């Protein structure tokens, strides 16, 4: 599963990739992925000693980011097609991606005005203001480490990615790209099987069209 998100970053022209992992699984990732040369990129690794929320990644990876723009993708999020063009064109502020879902209460939810301009983002709301979920792909400028380090933990003890997004949104520096192609939060066996079958069908169609 980890190859799908890595491929999304590579399609975006990213050559230096930091993989943040829990201590218990560090050896497995190192053995699987190595230094990245097999993929034409360079992998760095960082240990997140305990789960503190998605935005904590920018605190853990501060030295790696080193004042540059950064794209983060979650290890269980699979997209087709990728968003290479959008990632390559990103310059300033923040950029996220949103898709209409049937169960928005499970995700960060973005609310739009009549002109489809984002006006709010809420984390797992009981009463969602829209059906658009923010998916696990995010682009930020170099200020992200500063903003993340100033965030207070939420009631569940996490540095929330939604709180980080709202800083950029309130500053008028958040771009939300709405899409309707394949996206799967493949954190369960069923969802991984579903997306694998869809990917296999897509490859079969491409192979047939090339004949």
What are the structural domains, with CATH classification, of the chain?
Answer: 3-209 (3.90.550.10)
pLDDT for 54-94, tens place per residue? 999 999 999 999 999 999 999 988 887 678 899 999 999 99
- Give the number of other CB atoms < 10 A from CB of residue 153: 14
Over 90: is that where the pLDDT of 39 sits? yes
More confident residue, 94 or 200: 94
Which position has the token pair 């230096």? 16
Cα–Cα dist 79/89, whole Å: 18
Among the residue ranges 44-48, 62-66, 147-151, 198-202, the one predicted with the least confidence is 198-202
Q: In angstroms, what is the C-alpha Rg of the chain?
A: 17
Q: 38: Cβ–Cβ under 8 A, 6 or more apart, which residues? A: none
pLDDT for 145-166, tens place per residue? 999 999 999 988 999 999 999 9
Over 90: is that where the pLDDT of 186 sits? no
pLDDT at residue 156, as a whole number: 87
pLDDT at residue 181, as a whole number: 85
pLDDT for 106-133, tens place per residue? 899 999 999 999 999 999 999 999 999 9
The Cα-based distances of 80 to 8, 11, 86, 111, 150 in angstroms read 9, 12, 14, 24, 34
Cα–Cα dist 53/60, whole Å: 11
Cα–Cα dist 159/142, whole Å: 18
Over 90: is that where the pLDDT of 198 sits? no
Which position has the token pair 């990917």? 199
Over residues 159-175, the mean pLDDT reads 96
pTM of the predicted model as reported, rounded to 2 decimal places: 0.89
Cα–Cα dist 38/111, whole Å: 41
Upstream peptide bond of 69 is cis (omega within 30 degrees of 0): no
pLDDT at residue 204, as a whole number: 73
Half-sphere exposure of 42 (CA within 13 A, CB side): 4
The Cα-based distances of 65 to 33, 151, 182 in angstroms read 20, 18, 29
SS3 for 136? Answer: strand
pLDDT at residue 206, as a whole number: 63
């Amino acid at each position: 599963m980890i190859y799908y998100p890595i491929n999304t970053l590579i399609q975006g022209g990213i050559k230096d990739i930091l993989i943040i992992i829990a201590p218990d699984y560090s050896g497995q990732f190192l053995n699987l992925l190595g230094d990245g040369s097999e993929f034409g990129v360079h992998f760095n690794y960082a240990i997140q000693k305990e789960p503190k929320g998605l935005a904590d990644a920018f605190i853990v990876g501060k030295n790696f980011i080193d004042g540059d723009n950064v794209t983060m993708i979650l290890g269980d999020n699979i997209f087709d097609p990728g968003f290479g063009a959008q990632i390559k064109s990103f310059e300033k502020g923040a950029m996220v991606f949103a898709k209409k879902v049937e169960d928005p209460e499970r995700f960060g939810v973005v609310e739009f005005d009549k002109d489809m301009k984002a006006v709010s983002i809420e984390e797992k709301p009981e009463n969602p203001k829209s059906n658009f979920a923010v998916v696990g792909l995010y682009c930020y400028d170099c200020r992200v480490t500063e903003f993340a380090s100033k965030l207070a933990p939420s009631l569940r003890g996490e540095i929330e990615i939604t709180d980080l997004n709202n800083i950029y949104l309130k500053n008028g520096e958040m771009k939300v790209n709405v899409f309707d192609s394949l996206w799967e939060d493949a954190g369960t066996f069923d969802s991984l099987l579903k997306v694998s079958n869809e990917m296999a069908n897509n490859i079969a169609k491409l192979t047939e069209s090339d004949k």
